[in-house]
Amino acid sequence: MDELTKEQVIKIGQEVMASQATILSEMANRLSNDFVLAVKLIHDVGGKIVISGIGKSGHIGNKIAATLSSTGTPCVFMHAAEAVHGDLGIFQKEDVAILISNSGSTQELVRLLPFLKKKAIPVIAITGNKDSNLAKKSDVFLNATVHSESDPLSMVPTASTIAALSMGDALSCALMKLKGFREEDFAELHPSGQLGRNLLLQVKDVMHPVSDLFCARRDMSLRELVIGMTQFPLGAACVTCGDELIGIITDGDVRRALQDIEDVMKLTANDLMTKDPIVVHTETRLLETLRIMENRPSQISVLPVTDPESSARILGVIRIHDIYKP
């Protein structure tokens, strides 16, 4: 850094984040019945939500619209500057408008109010100025007041945009709860990408069948075990008795044994295996499988897959790479 030390740069970042955290905490304590009215108005709408803003507020509005749509509330964004040049045709009977402006006096938004009133379109205003035209002439005013912006000049939309965004997220989450929005509903709206894959697919769709897996006997030597795991390179071997799972040995288990134990030639699969390992079933969704593998102090890279009707019957394995594979 030419003029600032690393410590000074870090401190600036910390101060910005701390400032915004304080602002959000104040907003949370300030939520009132107006928030309830806004949630009810959106929930009961017969049409769609139309969000409008300009500048940074427009970018925030775009994101809120996307979040609402992706959680089951039909919503579109209309750029305030384009509204009076034909885009007002987007409004239909039973729609609701959300107008975002920190000052509450953005002319492109204020000039929409007579049109919306004439069309009997309810207006929710997200603004930081309770005395503004936007706040006073809206049906519901959501207070997004910030005492100062977070930048060094207190001029750049930083804290105010975070406040508006948080208010939009709060609305979205309250509506999700009110509607009983489930993971299954989310999956239907997100069929593509990693998230959609994890929600829609089950273990059986990506697992490696037992025919591709090295299955070891309890008394198998380390040498036999390493040869077998090399021939079937899935990162693990299942220790079985018939088709019954009794343990699992991962590549990591073998490496740790070679590192920590001097006389490894006497080791058997029984010495190395994790007994009664965590398993998933063929019908388990990938999202839940990922949680089982990752949400723990020590992550799991390979899980045995067993029969849903018999947790002891081994059917194959699933690796964390299989979940993330495109």
Could you report the per-residue pLDDT of 248-271, keeping only the tens digit for each? 999 998 999 888 887 888 889 999
- For residue 200, what pLDDT band results from cuts at 50, 70 and 90? confident
State how far the Cα of 104 lies from the Cα of 272, in Å rounded to an integer: 67
Task: Say yes or no: 60 and 139 in one domain.
Answer: yes
For the chain, give the percent of residues with pLDDT over 90. Answer: 76
Q: Are 134 and 99 in contact (CB under 8 A)?
A: yes
In this prediction, residues 221-231 reach a mean pLDDT of: 93
**Would you say residue 192 lies in a domain?**
no
**Would you say residue 38 lies in a domain?**
yes
For the stretch 38-86, pLDDT in tens is 999 999 988 999 999 999 999 999 999 999 999 999 999 999 999 888 8
Q: Which helix (H) or strand (E) segment is 17 a member of? A: helix 6-30
For the stretch 168-198, pLDDT in tens is 999 999 999 999 998 878 877 877 777 778 8
Task: Say yes or no: 298 and 176 in one domain.
Answer: no
**Would you say residue 1 lies in a domain?**
no
Opening angle at CA 73, ends 67 and 76, nearest 5? 70
State how far the Cα of 265 lies from the Cα of 69, in Å rounded to an integer: 61
Per-residue model confidence (pLDDT) at position 250: 92
Whether the predicted pLDDT of 1 surpasses 60: no
Q: Are 319 and 235 in contact (CB under 8 A)?
A: yes
Task: Say yes or no: 232 and 309 in one domain.
Answer: yes
- The residue out of 148, 181, 214 marking a domain boundary is 181
State how far the Cα of 127 lies from the Cα of 145, in Å rounded to an integer: 7
**Would you say residue 190 lies in a domain?**
no
Per-residue model confidence (pLDDT) at position 2: 67
In this prediction, residues 155-170 reach a mean pLDDT of: 96
Task: Say yes or no: 11 and 160 in one domain.
Answer: yes
State how far the Cα of 205 lies from the Cα of 186, in Å rounded to an integer: 20
Task: Say yes or no: 290 and 175 in one domain.
Answer: no
Task: Say yes or no: 108 and 228 in one domain.
Answer: no
Task: Say yes or no: 226 and 165 in one domain.
Answer: no
Q: Which residue has the higher pLDDT, 92 or 197?
A: 92
- For residue 115, what pLDDT band results from cuts at 50, 70 and 90? very high
**Would you say residue 196 lies in a domain?**
no
Task: Say yes or no: 248 and 279 in one domain.
Answer: yes
CATH of residue 105's domain is 3.40.50.10490
Whether the predicted pLDDT of 10 surpasses 60: yes
Task: Say yes or no: 49 and 152 in one domain.
Answer: yes
State how far the Cα of 132 lies from the Cα of 152, in Å rounded to an integer: 26
- Nearest CA among 4, 26, 3, 25 for reference residue 13: 4
CATH of residue 293's domain is 3.10.580.10
Opening angle at CA 241, ends 281 and 228, nearest 5? 85
Per-residue model confidence (pLDDT) at position 58: 95
What average pLDDT does the structure give for the chain? 92
Number of structural domains, the chain? Answer: 2
- For residue 135, what pLDDT band results from cuts at 50, 70 and 90? very high
In this prediction, residues 298-323 reach a mean pLDDT of: 90
Task: Say yes or no: 153 and 224 in one domain.
Answer: no
**Would you say residue 197 lies in a domain?**
no
Q: Residue 322 CB: number of other CB atoms within 10 A? A: 18
Q: Are 98 and 61 in contact (CB under 8 A)?
A: yes
**Would you say residue 186 lies in a domain?**
no
Containing structural domain, residue 267: 203-324
**Would you say residue 188 lies in a domain?**
no
Task: Say yes or no: 172 and 233 in one domain.
Answer: no
Q: Are 302 and 319 in contact (CB under 8 A)?
A: yes
Task: Say yes or no: 218 and 173 in one domain.
Answer: no
